[in-house]
Amino acid sequence: MQKVLFPVLTGLVLLAIWWGAHAAGAFPTGTVPSPPEVATAFGQEIRSGRLFDDIIASLYRVAWGFSVGVLAAVPLGLVIGRSLQTRAALLPWVNFFRSLSPIAWIPFAIIWFGVGDPPAIFILFIAVFFQLVLATSAAVATVPKIYYRVAEDMSLSPADVLFRVTLQAIMPQLVTALRVAIGVAWMVVVAAEMIAVRSGLGFLIIDARNGLRMDLVVAGMITIGLIGIALDLVFSRLTRIPSVRWGFER
Amino acid sequence: MSEIILDLSGVGFDYPGVKVIDELDLRVAKGELVVCVGPSGCGKSTLLSLLAGHLQPTRGTVERKGASRTIYQDGGLFPWLTVRQNIEQGLPRDAPVDSRAKKVADWLEITRLAEFAGSYPHQLSGGMRQRVELARALAAETDILLLDEPFSALDYQTRTRMRRELVATLAERPRTVVFVTHDIEEAVMIADRVLVLGARPTSVRKILDLPGDRSRTPASPGVAEAEQAILEELGLS
């Protein structure tokens, strides 16, 4: 009950403050819309179907960027975590690229991938890839050596050790890293959709700003925030998988 | 004389700058239960790692006839697998699919864990976790069982019960066992032979043959004398 009631009450308080400040003339004209203006903008976007289309477009790009990022980063993180030489050779560079904002890649994204979804997906991939490589390799480095001795006793093959021991052992940390990564990817989608696309929630915000439609900007921001919460809820469910839950209950 | 299963000759092992084991000779016959006692940090666990093949000796030779499984003090179970899955993971890799479930069920029964087959290791008590370790190691049907202070984290009562269960299980399903412990009482209760190891670099300082079967009590013949001899050898009496 508290999990629903408290955030709703907090939201109502924030809404009241916003509304009261607007009514009191705290914001210069045209800088911050009122709640009813935002609600009207929401209504228009929903009725026209554009909001739904933009949500789908953004989710599509995030799904691709995130999935490709995970599929590339986790195996590389496993290798880096298990091999001292590979770690020594690659980890500083992973850290180097992780420190670069994904937005810095926008010029390359446009030159390499042109227009449409690919450059935006590439930016999202970059946002996910380097941080997940680092998180995975760090998790692998903490796997107790005793598991490998047991695996050696059992004569497990190298592939079995990697997938049935290492990957399983890091799963709780990996799930946490995936939660963070999907959050970052969703955060970066606005920047990714500033380039070479004409759909998505990021484009909605940029397009609205260009038209000085601050009501639409706020509607887009609220939509992004709500979907961010929903995505985190979905990923937090992964922690309930029995073979993952042990990491959160010990 | 029975067949020699483990044969260590002039074995030495060094970590960088540290001589851990030196000139260690040990022969263990088939079905024998040898317990190694020694001061803390003398290299008992290193000795087991050499026997298991996890480490290679710096000097000398280690000959082992057959595969081994090791039971560790704590944490050797895979926490992402249930009790049933952990035991199943221990079965020989070539065990037929149709007999695997039966074998697991048997070991769950033997170790009185059937009720907890679907539980995860962190949901069990320390004693129950060690029973799962025991079941997983024995289910492997290897010739050699290596135990690295398996009961030292348990309370006295559980430790005593576990020791008896181990002896009873080995009576039914014999294995060649090397058991490392710092608990002298534990050593003289169950061992066929006790090896007293010296301080680092460790070597065998004394060998005691224990009379009778493995279910001794403190009042059993030879137990008090053996304990006293070990204490003297370790400079503790």
Contact B120 A242 (CB under 8 A): yes
Taking the mean position of all CA atoms in its chain, how far away is CA B192? 13
pLDDT at B173: 84
Candidate from B75, B121, B122 with C-beta closest to A146: B75
Residues of A with CB under 8 A from a CB of B: 144, 146-147, 149-150, 152-155, 165, 168-169, 171, 242-247, 249-250
Find, among A208, A175, A203, the residue nearest to A189 by Cα: A203
DSSP category for residue B154? S
pLDDT at residue B22 is higher than 90: no
DSSP category for residue B235? T
Nearest-Cα residue of chain A relative to residue B144:
A153
Candidate from B52, B75, B122 with C-beta closest to A246: B122
Distance CA A70, CA A72 (A): 5
Instruction: Identify residue B142 by its one-letter amino acid code.
Output: T
Q: Residue B216 CB: number of other CB atoms within 10 A?
A: 20
Under 8 Å CB-to-CB from B205, ≥6 apart: which residues?
B196, B197, B198, B233
pLDDT at residue B28 is higher than 90: yes
Distance CA B123, CA B79 (A): 10
Are residues A10 and A129 part of one domain? Answer: no
pLDDT at A56: 96
Q: Which domain holds residue A8?
A: 1-29
Residues of A within 8 A of B72 (CB-CB) are 146, 149-150
Residues of B within 8 A of A169 (CB-CB) are 78-80
Distance CA B181, CA B179 (A): 7
Q: Are A207 and A138 in contact (CB under 8 A)?
A: no
Residues of B within 8 A of A249 (CB-CB) are 122-123
The whole-angstrom distance between A147's CA and the closest CA on chain B is 6
Determine which helix (DSSP H) or strand (DSSP E) holds B137, and give its type and residue range. Answer: helix B126-139
Q: Which residues of chain A have pLDDT under 50?
A: none
Are residues A73 and A10 part of one domain? Answer: no
Are residues A224 and A104 part of one domain? Answer: yes
Are residues A92 and A2 part of one domain? Answer: no
A6: tokens are 């408290």
Distance CA A64, CA A127 (A): 12
Contact A246 B54 (CB under 8 A): no
Candidate from A153, A171, A242 with C-beta closest to B69: A153
Are residues A20 and A136 part of one domain? Answer: no
Taking the mean position of all CA atoms in its chain, how far away is CA B224? 23
Are residues A197 and A80 part of one domain? Answer: yes
Nearest-Cα residue of chain A relative to residue B88:
A154
Q: Are B77 and B136 in contact (CB under 8 A)?
A: yes
Residue B68 forms beta bridges with which residues? B144
Distance CA A90, CA A156 (A): 27
Contact A150 B76 (CB under 8 A): yes
Helix (H, G, I), strand (E, B) or coil at B21: strand
Of A126-135, B19-28, B100-109, B210-219, give the range with the top mean pLDDT: A126-135
Nearest-Cα residue of chain B relative to residue A250:
B122
Q: Is B132 on the interface with A (CB under 8 A)?
A: no
B20: tokens are 């851990």
pLDDT, one tens digit per residue, over B33-92 is: 999 998 887 888 889 999 999 899 999 999 999 889 999 876 789 999 999 999 999 888
pLDDT, one tens digit per residue, over B126-177 is: 888 988 998 898 888 888 999 998 888 778 887 888 888 888 888 888 899 9
Q: How many domains does chain A divide into?
A: 2
Under 8 Å CB-to-CB from A179, ≥6 apart: which residues?
A232, A235, A236, A238
Distance CA A194, CA A189 (A): 9
Are residues A122 and A17 part of one domain? Answer: no
Report the mean per-residue pLDDT for chain B.
87
Q: Is B72 on the interface with A (CB under 8 A)?
A: yes
pLDDT at residue B1 is higher than 70: no
The whole-angstrom distance between B90's CA and the closest CA on chain A is 7
The whole-angstrom distance between B223's CA and the closest CA on chain A is 34
Under 8 Å CB-to-CB from A73, ≥6 apart: which residues?
A128, A129, A130, A132, A133, A136
Are residues A206 and A118 part of one domain? Answer: yes
Are residues A49 and A20 part of one domain? Answer: no
Q: Mind listing the domains of chain B with CATH numbers? A: 1-66+144-237 (3.40.50.300), 78-142 (no CATH)
Are residues A111 and A56 part of one domain? Answer: yes
Could you list the beta-strand ranges (E) of chain A: none
Taking the mean position of all CA atoms in its chain, how far away is CA B9? 20
In terms of C-beta distances under 8 Å and separation of at least 24 residues, what long-range contacts does A148-152 make, across chains too?
A149/B49, A149/B52, A149/B54, A149/B70, A149/B72, A149/B76, A150/B70, A150/B72, A150/B76, A150/B78, A152/B52, A152/B53, A152/B54
Candidate from B75, B80, B93 with C-beta closest to A246: B80
Interface test with A, best of B78, B91, B149 (most A CBs within 10 A): B78
B117: tokens are 């087959």
Residues of B within 8 A of A244 (CB-CB) are 80
Mean pLDDT of B21-27: 88
Are residues A108 and A153 part of one domain? Answer: yes
* CATH number of the domain within which A152 lies: 1.10.3720.10
A16: tokens are 């009241």
pLDDT at residue B24 is higher than 80: yes
pLDDT, one tens digit per residue, over B205-229 is: 788 888 778 878 888 888 888 888 8
Are residues A98 and A206 part of one domain? Answer: yes
pLDDT at A143: 94
Contact A150 B70 (CB under 8 A): yes
Could you list the beta-strand ranges (E) of chain B: 4-15, 18-29, 33-37, 59-64, 68-71, 144-148, 176-180, 193-197, 204-209
Interface test with B, best of A145, A147, A150 (most B CBs within 10 A): A150
Under 8 Å CB-to-CB from A244, ≥6 apart: which residues?
A171, A172, A175, A238, B80
Sign of CA dihedral B77, B81, B86, B89: negative
Find, among B60, B57, B41, B50, the residue nearest to B199 by Cα: B41
Token match 């490998």: residue? A148
Taking the mean position of all CA atoms in its chain, how far away is CA B16? 27
Give me the DSSP letters along A129-173: HHHHHHHHHHHHHTS-HHHHHHHHHTT--HHHIIIIIIHHHHHHH
